[in-house]
Amino acid sequence: MTWSDLQYSISFNRDILKNTPFKINIPMQLERIVHDLGGTCHLYEPNDYKDSEGWPTLFEACKLSSCFIKLLFAAKDYWAYSLMLLWNHPNDDTLVTHNLKQVLYPSISSSTSQEYEQLLVRFLGELYDSFDTAGKAIREYPYPNQDLPEFVKLINNSDARIFWIVLYICKLLKEEGVSTADNLTYSLGIIKAFNKCHTWAKPFHISKEQLNSLRSFRDTIFNDEIMCENIAKLWDPEGQETDDMNNAMTIDVFYPFMNPDHRSKQILSILTFCQLCDVFHHHRKNADIREILRVSILQIIEGLQANEERGWFRELAASQTKSRLENWRKEKGLKRRGVLRHIIEPSDKNIILSHIDLLEADPGLQKVLLQTLQLNEEQQVTTKKVHKKYNHIYCK
């Protein structure tokens, strides 16, 4: 229990003589929404009690008390009829968004960065978990951008949970008040919570173990399951590209290796990038908020680059001797070659480019993104020439 639990008078109550279980004290305003949470709570009447709506009080309680959030969703069956009012896709929601702004916007209610995180990460995460079909709702929603649905369908439930939070965060970032100073404070608090909901700069958590040595990489690349998930190209015995696996003598395999979970995280980053670009465009006339968003956009791009993993690959590729390459070329049997994966998959290029276009208020940022993601055709050719020596690892 934190100091804020005490501040809000949400505290524990127990009759020691009767050895009754601990109960959490909650304000009377919550009765019409949560009742007494199946007897786990004790309703009390605050000194300044007013018979007002319970939803603002509920969100204020969740902002101040992690204990209350845990208890609230652990006892979800006791207030299911009220809870169902919160089970909407973030794009269709009004109740959650309105109350989040009411308890977070500075001129309405002062909040610490920890309290932003409490509501936007913990509460929204628990809300997603309480909704049995939330993942399906996220994946099957008819998004206004026609390119989004095919990408959203590929994210798993854990990444759909993060995207659920992202959608609420981006919706709140578009909710402006009249005070410029308050808008900036509000946006900063939201972005700090955004940075806590996922490791945007390092989303894949790839181990270096596969690249500890040429031998370990060779063993990995000859794992058929990994190979099948990461095929770049197939080459027949005459050195011609082919689509026939049975006739392939050389198989190019992409690194960093991708599996469905890694691909889901990659798509989550792309979808989040798109959402932030929409918000950036919304605030195209507000340089201060654009700068806050710029930092978060660059964090996501850093994660998509996977520079550390690519550095491991190039370091190992550079350790190969000339004789290794010559022996590999002479090999008449099945052989494989590790090749560096594109930073952005060809299938993802259009959606990235269309959202970079939304950043027209900052041409410098647009240029940086195009260069970093190697989306300029001329740059792609130059990069291949410069790094050709370090872009392949030969295995047989």
Q: Is the bond leading into 256 cis (omega within 30 degrees of zero)?
A: yes
Given a contact cutoff of 8 angstroms between Cβ atoms, the answer to whether 185 and 288 are in contact is: no
Percentage with pLDDT > 70 across the chain: 89
Instruction: Quote the tokens at residue 163.
Output: 């995207």
Alpha-carbon distances of 271 from 139, 151, 345, rounded to whole Å: 12, 8, 14
Domain boundaries of the chain, sorted by first residue: 3-196, 208-395
Direct distance between the N- and C-terminal alpha carbons of the chain, in angstroms, rounded to an integer: 59
User: For residue 284, what is the DSSP state?
Assistant: T
Contact 84, 156 (CB under 8 A): no
Computed over every residue of the chain, the mean pLDDT equals 88
Q: How many helices (H) does the chain have, and how many strands (E)?
A: 21, 8
Q: In whole angstroms, what is the distance from residue 19 CA to residue 2 CA? A: 24
CB 200 within 8 A of CB 299: yes
pLDDT in tens, 196-239: 999 999 998 888 888 999 999 999 999 999 999 999 999 999 88
The DSSP 8-state label assigned to residue 197 in this structure reads S
Best CA proximity match to 95, nearest among 105, 86, 104, 103? 86
Instruction: Give dist(CA 43, CA 339) in Å, integer.
Output: 64
What is the H or E stretch that residue 203 is in?
none
pLDDT by residue (tens digit) across 348-371?
999 999 999 999 999 999 999 999
**pTM recorded for the entire structure:** 0.90
Stretch 339-345: mean pLDDT? 94
